[in-house]
Amino acid sequence: MKTVRELASLLPRALKLSWQVSPLLMTLVAIMAIVAALIDPAVLYLTKVIVDIVYQNLGQGVQWALVIVPLGVIFGLWIAEKLVGGITAVVQQLLGQRTYNTTFQKLLHKASKLDLAFFEAPKFYDQLQQANLHQGLVQHLPMSLFHFLQNLLSLGAMVGLLSMLHPLAFLLLVATVLPRLFLEGHMTRLGFKLGSELARNFRRTDYMQTILTDREKAKEIRIFGLGSFFFDRFLEFRSEYVSAHIRQMLHFMGYNLGLGTLTTLGIGAVSIFAVIQAVRGDISIGTLTLVFSAAQQIVSLIGGVIGSLNSVYQSSLSSSRYFELLDLDPQSISGALQPPRVAEPRKAPLRIRKGIELESVSFTYPATDVEVLKDISFSLPAGSRVAIVGENGAGKTTLVKLLARFYDPAAGAIKLDGLDYRDYELNSLRESISVVFQDFAKYDISVAENIGVGSIEEIDNRDRIVKAASNSGTDTIVARLPNGYDTVLGKTMDEGVDLSGGEWQHIAIARAFMSDSPLLILDEPTAALDSLRERELYERIARLASSKTVVFVSHRFSTVRMADLIVVIDDGKSVEVGSHAELLSRKGKYYRMFETQAARYR
């Protein structure tokens, strides 16, 4: 839990953020708060004036000349109050929405820049979810601060009015309301603590809910009859959540009851004192009415001051979650990419001249202790087609992740044209690599956009998209769709069209053809294609991408045999490297794998 001091340091940061969004709207909010704060005390004072005038002139006829001015001003103030309320609501909405856009944008930017290693760690998910949950409340921080100051100003004016009874009368009220300051802070702290403790529970409930409503999983849920299995889990997590909340609610109810009684006693005491004074003739009737209203208002204003102070505290706690994520040190997780080792990292080459070299590369996933890649060394000559083969779990995808620099090797190095990956600028290195993953993303947007995301700055370049589609043989699929390139895919939209697994794979491959990157990696994106189509596709890639270095993972030897170089991975080690013919003649692992598959076709 953060200290009050740490939280207070967030105030200037949140204020600055809103100020940057709009200085004009911020100024307006401040002016409106000051005006709103002074209206009620002014009305109260004018009412006293009117009551006194009326009382002094009782039985002497109506003295309009004396009361008309204060009455007019009261009416004016009432109208002003409505006006200020309306303007404040609009201005706060505008400022709130614009601040929200900014905070959200900063959050997304940060999350999208974090290393993959963060996404392997459940703790980080909780952190991301908390930041996401609380980021909408960052905009409340300046607002609740203004609200606090407004209440404080109003309270000051009311205390001034109450001093007409006795300069210290307000102290009695403060004493009865003060315990609330501590209790409310305590309750906020408890509430926030519970929220944090339940973050994991919340994430699990959310996950169960997603499983039960997800289109992708709907088939398995039905065929294996998993509905009630997951639903029971959902209920279990949910009831944990609900009962923790109910326990806390009952706890808080007790506090509130005690506080309410204490406050009533305070107002009662001040009122009795005022009546005694009035009967004695020490205060006027006008002042008596003023004291009655002022005492009530002071109590509710002290409550308001405490309440808004509490909102400031609450929004600071929320903002702290948000700012914590923004400030997250990219190096704070094991397995994060290492910072550049040289002062000025190089731009990655537009064409690979020599090739890529793996030198004794070993790797272990963050937060695990099993070495997944062990001392792997081989070279990928520039312009070659390299196949990576191996059984499931051998480490092929992990190798692809290292080649795309999602992780750095734990030991050894990967070099591009003789220079360590870590000495290139990360963005420029990523731009020179395109990867089609096994679990590529399927976006519920148009076909053209689905392909265009492969090179986001070219997303509106239709010629380029059409070329990428025809180069990857995806154009024949697009031609069959109702609106061609403008067909919306997926089922999120009413007009959305769904594609078969193989068709989606073609779209993902076309995406990789959008980029001019000199290294193309395909991690078995063709599993849903039949072997003839897979082979055809790879032949096409070989023809079209003649200047590129192509690395692909495949289980089909009809495709693998076309490669210039084949790397066999077994249990995290590169056990054989060579051409199809060389590896067959060696009669090792590759030969045995090839024979097993060939036997099925004989």
Residue numbers at the binding site for ligand ADP (CB under 6 A): 120, 365, 368, 372, 390, 392-398
Shortest CB 581 distance to ligand ADP, Å: 24
168 exposed, middle or buried (CB, 10 Å; 0-12, 13-18, 19+)?
A: exposed
Enumerate long-range contacts of 373-377, CB under 8 Å, 24 or more apart. 373/398, 373/399, 373/402, 373/409, 373/572, 374/571, 374/572, 374/573, 375/411, 375/412, 375/573, 376/412, 376/569, 376/572, 376/573, 376/574, 377/412, 377/574
Smaller CB distance to ligand ADP: residue 395 or 452? 395
Nearer to ligand ADP, 120 or 431 (CB): 120
The per-residue b/e assignment along 197-227, b for 16 or more CB within 10 angstroms, e otherwise, is ebbeebbbbeebeebbeeeeeeeebeeeeee
Amino acid sitting at position 547: S
Question: Which residue, chain included where needed, has tokens 């006693």?
Answer: 265
User: Which residue, 95 or 399, has its beta carbon nearer to ligand ADP?
Assistant: 399
| Minimum separation from the CB atom of position 229 to ligand ADP (A) | 24
Please report how close the Cβ of residue 396 comes to ligand ADP at its closest, in angstroms: 3
Nearer to ligand ADP, 395 or 518 (CB): 395
Minimum CB distance to ligand ADP, residue 119 (Å): 9
Q: Report the nearest approach of ligand ADP to the CB of residue 571 (Å).
A: 9
Do residues 266 and 177 lie in contact, with contact meaning Cβ atoms separated by under 8 Å? yes
Q: State the angle between helix axes of 140-162 and 23-56 in degrees (0 to 180), rounded to the nearest 10.
A: 20
- Closest separation between CB of residue 445 and ligand ADP, Å? 28
Rounded to whole angstroms, the Cα distance separating 71 from 64 reads: 10
CB burial string 135-162: b at 16+ within 10 A, e below: bebbbbbbbbbbbbbbbbbbbebbbebb
Q: Which amino acid makes up residue 470?
A: S
d(CA 519, CA 524): 16
Label residue 231 exposed, middle or buried (CB < 10 Å: 0-12, 13-18, 19+): middle
Determine the Cα–Cα distance for residues 209 and 237; give it in Å rounded to an integer. Answer: 11
Beta strand 433-436 with 419-420 is unpaired
Closer to ligand ADP by CB, 128 or 372: give it. Answer: 372
Residue 489 · residue 444 · CB < 8 Å: yes
* Residue labelled with tokens 């207070």: 8
CB of 409 to ligand ADP, least distance (A): 14
Six token digits for residue 367: 């937060």
Q: Which residue's CB is nearer to ligand ADP, number 473 or number 572?
A: 572
| Least distance from ligand ADP to the Cβ atom of residue 408, Å | 15
Q: Shortest distance, CB of residue 397 to ligand ADP, whole angstroms?
A: 3
Residue 236 or 371: which CB sits closer to ligand ADP? 371
Nearer to ligand ADP, 396 or 580 (CB): 396
Residue nearer to ligand ADP on the CB measure, 266 or 395 = 395
| Least spacing, CB of residue 403 vs ligand ADP, in Å | 12
Q: Which is nearer to ligand ADP, 308 or 398 (CB)?
A: 398
Of 570, 116, 111, 117, the C-alpha closest to 368 is 117
Match 């004192």 to its residue by tokens. Answer: 273
Q: State the amino acid at position 98 in one-letter form.
A: R
